[in-house]
Amino acid sequence: MHSPERDNLASLKSMKDEALQGGGRKRIEVQHSKGKLTARERIELLLDEGSFEEFDLLKTGRSSSGDGGGEYPGDGVITGHGTIDGREIFVFSQDFTIMGGSLGEAHSHKINKIMDHAVRVGSPIIGLNDSGGARIQEGVDSLAAYGEIFSRNVMASGVVPQISCIMGPCAGGAVYSPAMTDFTFMVEDSSYMFVTGPNVVKTVTHQDITADELGGAQVHNEKSGVAHFAFPNDILCLREVRRLINYLPSNNKQTAPFLDLRDPIERTDPALDYLIPANPNQTYDMKILITSILDGAEFLEYQENFARNIICGFGRLGGQTIGLIANQPAVSAMLLTFLSFAWWTYLDSCPVLNRSTAVSSGTAPNCSMPL
Ligand code: HXC
The whole-angstrom separation of Cα 303 and Cα 316 is 18
| CA 45 to ligand 1 centroid distance, Å | 26
Query: What CATH number does the domain located at 4-245 have?
Result: 3.90.226.10
Confidence of residue 281 (pLDDT cuts 50, 70, 90): confident
123: which DSSP letter? Answer: -
Q: Please give the pLDDT value at position 342.
A: 60
Contact 171, 198 (CB under 8 A): no
pLDDT recorded at residue 94: 98
| 147-180: pLDDT as tens digits | 999 999 999 999 999 999 999 999 999 999 999 9
Q: Tell me: pLDDT of 363 over 50.
A: no
Q: Quick: pLDDT tens for 9-63.
A: 999 999 999 999 999 999 999 999 999 999 999 999 999 999 999 999 999 987 6
Kindly tell me if the per-residue pLDDT of 67 is higher than 90: no
pTM of the complete model? 0.91
Smallest CA separation from ligand 1 atom 23, residue: 100
Nearest CA to ligand 1 atom 9: 135
CA of 170 to the centre of ligand 1 (A): 8
Residue 366, pLDDT score: 29
Give pLDDT, residue 62.
75
Q: Whose CA is nearest to atom 54 of ligand 1?
A: 143
Q: For residue 369, what pLDDT is reported?
A: 29
Q: Is the CB of 215 under 6 A from ligand 1?
A: no
- Please say if the pLDDT value at position 202 is more than 60: yes
Q: Indicate whether residue 102 lines ligand 1 (CB < 6 A).
A: yes
Residue 6 pLDDT level (bands cut at 50, 70, 90): confident
Atom of ligand 1 at shortest distance to CA of 192?
A: 31
Atom of ligand 1 lying closest to residue 195 CA: 43
Give CB contacts under 8 A, 24+ apart, made by 210-214: 211/169
**Which residue out of 99, 140, 210 has the highest number of ligand 1 atoms within 8 Å of its CB and is therefore the one to mutate?**
99
> What is the rounded average pLDDT of the residues 63-83?
77
Sequence-distant contacts of 190-194: CB under 8 A, at least 24 apart: 190/34, 190/35, 190/36, 190/233, 190/234, 191/166, 191/167, 191/216, 191/217, 192/166, 192/168, 192/216, 193/166, 193/220, 193/226, 193/227, 194/169, 194/170
Q: What is the rounded average pLDDT of the residues 191-218?
A: 95
Share of the chain above pLDDT 90, in %: 81
Residue 361 in this model has a pLDDT that exceeds 50:
no
Q: What is the CATH architecture assignment of 270-361?
A: Alpha-Beta Complex (3.90)
Tell me, yes or no, if the two domains 4-245 and 270-361 fold the same way.
yes
Cα–ligand 1 centroid distance for 148 (angstroms): 20
Domain spans of the chain, in order of start: 4-245, 270-361
Q: What is the pLDDT of residues 321-339, one digit of tens each?
A: 999 999 999 987 656 665 5
Q: What is the pLDDT of residues 113-155, one digit of tens each?
A: 999 999 999 999 999 999 999 999 999 999 999 999 999 999 9
Q: What is the pLDDT of residue 368?
A: 30
For 207-251, give the DSSP string. ----HHHHHBHHIIIIIS----EEESSHHHHHHHHHHHHTTS-SS
pLDDT at residue 180, rounded to an integer? 96
